[in-house]
Amino acid sequence: MRSERTSHGLIVRAPAKVNLFLEVMGKRPDGYHDLNTLMVAVSLFDTLEFKEDSDSTIRLDLVPATEEPGDEDRPLLSPGPENLVWRAADLLRRHVGLSDGCRIRLTKRIPLAAGLAGGSSDAAATLLGLNRLWRLDLGTSELMTLAAELGSDVAFFLGSESAWCTGRGEIVTPLQPTTPLWLVLVCPPMGLSTARVFQALKTPEQPVDGSGLRQALLDGDIQAIGRGLFNRLQSTAEELCPALAELRRRLAILGGVGQLMSGSGTTWFVLCRNPDEAHRAARNLDQLTRENLVSRVHVVRSCF
């Protein structure tokens, strides 16, 4: 994630992520789960614009209205202290003992509660953007510590376009794949709360090993990546939201090298061999949109 100077302040583009692999290794005494997950940032972006302000208030403007047609079953986003952007700005300010305010304009394109970690990415963008706007000069490891306080996925977005993440997800080992991936993101009209999915989950006795998928990504072997796609949370999400099982069955005939639900859902992705295949698959989703199984479709590329 990079920030760009403008005549008024700074702009940061915050990408969505998908999980190509997600296994739950066990439940921890603090109530969180230990994960092994492979995350990839993709080219669906929220945009954050940061400006200095003369008073000490953090002002967040949301653009456009977060309700989009077909998204009526998703939670609404607040511009106040519940918003991860607001919380990241306030945490950073308190961490360095600063009382400056700022204006932040957030253009939201990543759907909420969709397993795409839009909120975490926005929080990471805020740490990076304000670190520069306020000339704080904090290093990556200090920002990583703040990121982990804000949420398990936030640290990933600070430095990587793809990474193997462990712990709650906050221990990030960046990967260096060489071949870009093309995906179709298929977003149903409803969201799922991450906490709800983890509460309903039964921890596996024999965790699946993700090292094969990790190697396939480094080798750029698209067929092997397709075979290695795995998400432990998928069956639990389908039990909580049966429309997701129907979506899985309908996506299976769409082509591509594989399909998977991202994170705790509800977005599915179809992994494709090239952009043409991805655009063809996206066009074949019209019927699912008419049946209201799908509300948004995005053809995206990995950010590497």
Per CB under 6 A, 104 contacts ligand ATP: no
Backbone angles phi, psi at 245, to 5 degrees: -70, -40
263 binds ligand ATP per the rule CB under 6 A: yes
Closest to 184 (Cα-Cα) out of 272, 78, 102: 272
**Does the protein bind ligand ATP through residue 189 (CB under 6 A)?**
no
**CA–CA gap between residue 242 and residue 253 (Å, rounded):** 19
Q: Which position has the token pair 């306020």?
A: 134
CA distance 278 to 293: 19
Q: Which is nearer to ligand ATP, 116 or 148 (CB)?
A: 116
Catalytic hit among 53, 100, 153, 202: 153
**Is residue 153 annotated as a catalytic residue, yes or no?**
yes
Q: Which stretch binds ligand ATP (CB under 6 A): 22-30, 51-59, 108-116, 232-240?
A: 108-116
What mask of x and - would describe binding to ligand ATP in positions 69 to 88, judged by CB under 6 A?
------x-x----xxxx---
Residue 87's CB: how many other CB atoms inside 10 A? 19
Residue 261 is a binding residue for ligand ATP (CB under 6 A): no
**To the nearest whole angstrom, how small is the minimum distance from the Cβ of residue 137 to ligand ATP?**
25
Q: What would the two tokens of residue 114 be?
A: 């969709």
**Tokens representing residue 88 in the block:** 């990241």
Residue burial 183-215, b: 16+ Cβ < 10 Å; e: rest: bbbbbbbbbbebeebbeebeeeeeebebeebbe
Residue 281, helix vs strand vs coil: helix
Stretch of 97-105, 112-120, 157-165, 277-285 lying at the interface with ligand ATP (CB under 6 A): 112-120
Q: Is 34 a catalytic residue?
A: no
Give dist(CA 138, CA 127) in Å, integer.
10
Q: Which two tokens stand for residue 204?
A: 């596996």
Which residues from 24-63 bind ligand ATP, rule CB under 6 A?
A: none
Q: Which residue is nearest to ligand ATP (CB)?
A: 119
Residue placing its CB nearer to ligand ATP in the complex, 140 or 193: 193
Of residues 151 and 256, the one with the C-beta less far from ligand ATP? 151
Both tokens of residue 105? 């304009």
CB of 156 to ligand ATP, least distance (A): 9
Is 117 one of the binding residues for ligand ATP (CB under 6 A)? yes
Q: Provide the annotated active-site residues.
A: 17, 153
Residues near ligand ATP (CB under 6 A) are 75, 77, 82-85, 112-120, 122, 153, 194, 263-264
